[in-house]
Amino acid sequence: MSKVRFLMVGGFLGAGKTTTLGRLASSYMAKGLQVGIVTNDQATDLVDTHTLRQQGFDVEEVPGACFCCKFDDLLSTIGRLEDGKTPDVILAEPVGSCTDLVATVVQPIKDLYADRFQTGPYSVILKPSHGLRILRNQEDAGFSPKAAYIFRKQLEEADAILLNRIDELSAEEADELSALVKEVNPDVPILRVSAKTGQGFDRLEELLAMEGNFGSRILDLDYDIYAEGEAELGWLNSSVTMTATQEFDLDVLLLEVVSSLRDRLGAENYETAHLKVIGLWEGFFGVANLVSRDSKPELSLPSNSQVREVDLIVNARVATDPALLETFVREAVQKAGDVRGAKVEFHQTQSFRPGRPVPTHRYATSA
Ligand SMILES: Nc1nc2c(ncn2[C@@H]2O[C@H](COP(=O)(O)OP(=O)(O)OP(=O)(O)O)[C@@H](O)[C@H]2O)c(=O)[nH]1
Ligand SMILES: [Mg+2]
């Protein structure tokens, strides 16, 4: 039996992992390959799972904690993707505040499941907005030194770094980022890509097809700093239904919710790592995002539709108190409902600070 290619793409919150996996999945499928995608989050109600499913991909999720702490769930979830099918490629997206994935996921897969998987390079996406501020050691990096520590560690363990959003960067910024990455991980290949436009993806696919002993940069990691850095984030997943008597523009609603949250959080100087809202109704869907305090809210996937009713899922990762974040999200969604004369029903809201990661396995040396 041929082995399944296991490709995990990491990177900080809002770096472009889901966009990258969607683009890779489309390209592999166009070449006749069967692809399964595994998403991951600290809670349930994942915008990413819905976003990728709505695009027609075969997706299963590992909710409740990161892959490293739910290693057995990761394997059983991949098993569900294999149910009645024989995927050629499994694409896995870890939680964006997670690191030490080589020691806790790649190494155990290589060692314990060598007969089942062939592991490709572990690539990590560099998010330019926070990357420039953190790697330059700017005072206004937006996150504390502990969160910055996680950001650097993510880059340090990568087999390849994807310098994303190249469509927006000047040549000088891209050169500076490449030089800063080299200080963290000197020998790593750096690919300039745009998950949005597809620029650089031919080279990325060539890289991901390479054979070799990947996943061997095992980190020297202080789990206290890691845990404290993660716990500085307020994490919120919320599901809501909005029902109006008159039709309204779904995309305008999605952008309005993200924009009003941006204003509210920005006024208090709370740094956003990623704020995303998906609206779903009868086969239509749209997604709006905010990836940092100083970026513009954007409609990453427009629905181009008018609706009277919509299911909304809000996922927010912001450096603030989770209870406050929940208040802000409730108020923003309620306000958007009120101006449309809509009934707003909150179904489930989980808001918390991520707990200390306790990996199922941790390989101190390369197997
Ligand atoms: N301009 C531009 N925008 C991008 C690019 N890649 C991703 N984005 C946007 O960045 C935002 C975040 O992208 P995602 O793919 O959701 O990021 P992620 O890393 O999966 O985020 P989390 O799962 O929350 O950690 C979305 O608004 C995307 O449209 C890119 O290459 N260029
Ligand atoms: Mg994602």
Over the stretch 208-266, which tens digit does the pLDDT of each residue have? 999 999 999 999 999 999 999 999 999 999 999 999 999 999 999 999 999 999 999 99
Q: How many CA atoms lie within 13 A of 229 on its CB side?
A: 26
- Residue 136 pLDDT > 70: yes
307 vs 151: CA distance, rounded Å:
39
The pLDDT tens digits of the residues spanning 290-332 come to 999 989 999 999 999 999 999 999 999 999 999 999 999 999 9
Task: List pocket residues of ligand 1, CB cut-off 6 Å.
Answer: 11, 13-19, 48, 96, 164-165, 167-168, 194-196, 274, 289, 291, 298, 300
Q: Which of 12, 17, 19 to mutate to test the pocket of ligand 1 (most atoms within 8 A of CB)?
A: 19
Nearest ligand 1 atom to alpha carbon 317: 24
129 vs 140: CA distance, rounded Å:
12
Nearest ligand 1 atom to alpha carbon 164: 31
325 vs 345: CA distance, rounded Å:
18
Phi/psi-derived region of residue 37, left when phi > 0, alpha when psi is between -120 and 50, beta in every other case: beta
Nearest ligand 1 atom to alpha carbon 199: 31
Q: Which of 196, 201, 287 to mutate to test the pocket of ligand 1 (most atoms within 8 A of CB)?
A: 196
Ligand 1 centre distance from Cα of residue 101 (Å): 20
Ligand 2 centre distance from Cα of residue 93 (Å): 7
Other Cβ atoms within 10 Å of 69 Cβ, number? 20
Total count of residues recorded for the chain: 367
Handedness of CA 150, 153, 154, 155 (dihedral sign): positive
Ligand 2 centre distance from Cα of residue 91 (Å): 12
- Distance (Å) of CA 206 to CA 28, 201, 211, 358: 12, 8, 10, 34
- Residue 366 pLDDT > 90: no
pLDDT grade for 1, boundaries at 50, 70 and 90: low
pLDDT grade for 168, boundaries at 50, 70 and 90: very high
DSSP string, 98-166: ---HIIIIIHHHHHH-TTTEEE---EEEE-HHHHHHHHTT-TT-SS-HHHHHHHHHHHHT-SEEEE--T
pLDDT grade for 367, boundaries at 50, 70 and 90: confident
Ligand 2 centre distance from Cα of residue 307 (Å): 26
**Interval 38-59 mean pLDDT:** 98
Buried b (16+ CB within 10 A) or exposed e, 186-199: eebebbbbbbbeee
Phi/psi-derived region of residue 200, left when phi > 0, alpha when psi is between -120 and 50, beta in every other case: left
Q: How far, in whole angstroms, is CA 139 from its chain's centroid?
A: 25
Assess contact for 312 and 236: CB atoms under 8 A.
Answer: no
pTM for the model: 0.98
* pLDDT for res 43: 97
Backbone angles phi, psi at 338, to 5 degrees: -60, -45
Ligand 2 centre distance from Cα of residue 274 (Å): 9
pLDDT grade for 139, boundaries at 50, 70 and 90: confident
| Structural tokens at position 224 | 């206290």
Assess contact for 5 and 89: CB atoms under 8 A.
Answer: yes
Q: What is the residue whose two structure tokens read 């080589």?
A: 102
**Which of 216, 200, 193, 49 shows the shortest CA–CA distance to 127?**
193
Q: How far separated are the first and last CA of the chain, in Å rounded? A: 23
**Which of 316, 360, 280 shows the shortest CA–CA distance to 41?**
316
